[in-house]
Amino acid sequence: MGLARGSVSFVRFKVDGSLPADGEDFLEERLKLYTFRDIDNHTDELSVGWVSLGRLWGLDLNYPPALTGDHLVASLRIDQRKVAPALINKFVQKEEAVILKQKQIPSLTRVERRKLKNKVRAHLLAKAVPVAAMYDICWNLAESSLLLCGGNAIIEGILEDFFKQCFDLILIRDSPLEIAAIGLSEEQASSLRTASPAVFA
């Protein structure tokens, strides 16, 4: 699901803050600086970065064009290593049994068990293959609004943090009320905010 094909669901954000005077150069520089970095050969748990719209690999600012008129269009790629909690528990219990037998003790302390769990988790994460996901974004520079296609609350949180880090701008999730107030006069918007729901029979 994305901007280029098929049906799409999206979340709308307001972009709080201003771009510098050399806006286009700044955006191109920041996109390049925060291009997606592969973690297949690393032990990092998470990697987030920009790629060209609908492409898993690389950022080409010209094809498809990332900057078109008043819009910036790109995909946010998120690669994440995950290990199921049940799998971690299985190997923790297995390792714990070996340690108890070797040391001839009845049980591990809470601290020892936590250390063992962290060690097992790190070992399993290093072996796990990162799962890739992409989420298209369309940033309307003129209106200071941004659409995130797909995603959920976790992805929205990742985007908000990454966007702040990348552009030093804050994303604020738009509510239906704020969207409904677009284009209204101040008086109309004020009336809308004080309106209460009504049931029509």
Instruction: Determine, yes or no, domain membership for 5.
Output: no
Instruction: Determine, yes or no, domain membership for 118.
Output: yes
- Give the closest residue to 91 by CA, choosing from 48, 50, 121: 121
The highest-confidence range among 22-36, 92-106, 156-170, by mean pLDDT, is 156-170
**How confident is the model at residue 58, as a pLDDT?**
77
Instruction: Determine, yes or no, domain membership for 159.
Output: yes
68 with 90, same domain: the answer is no
24 with 36, same domain: the answer is yes
62, 93, 127 - which closes a domain = 127
160 with 98, same domain: the answer is no
Q: How many domains does the chain have?
A: 2
118 with 136, same domain: the answer is no
147 with 117, same domain: the answer is no
Chain-centroid distance, C-alpha 162 = 7
Instruction: Determine, yes or no, domain membership for 47.
Output: yes
68 with 154, same domain: the answer is yes
Mean pLDDT of 62-74: 84
Instruction: Determine, yes or no, domain membership for 3.
Output: no
52 with 41, same domain: the answer is yes
38 with 135, same domain: the answer is yes
**Tens digits of per-residue pLDDT, 145-170?**
999 998 889 999 999 999 999 999 99
Task: Tokens for 184, please give them.
Answer: 């209204």
123 with 135, same domain: the answer is no
Backbone φ and ψ of 154, nearest 5°:
-65, -45
**How confident is the model at residue 160, as a pLDDT?**
96
**How confident is the model at residue 187, as a pLDDT?**
84
Task: Tokens for 51, please give them.
Answer: 């790629």
Instruction: Determine, yes or no, domain membership for 145.
Output: yes
Say yes or no to pLDDT of 23 above 80: yes
d(CA 135, CA 67): 17
Task: Tokens for 65, please give them.
Answer: 């064009």
123 with 34, same domain: the answer is no
Question: Which domain does 135 fall in, by range?
Answer: 10-81+130-175
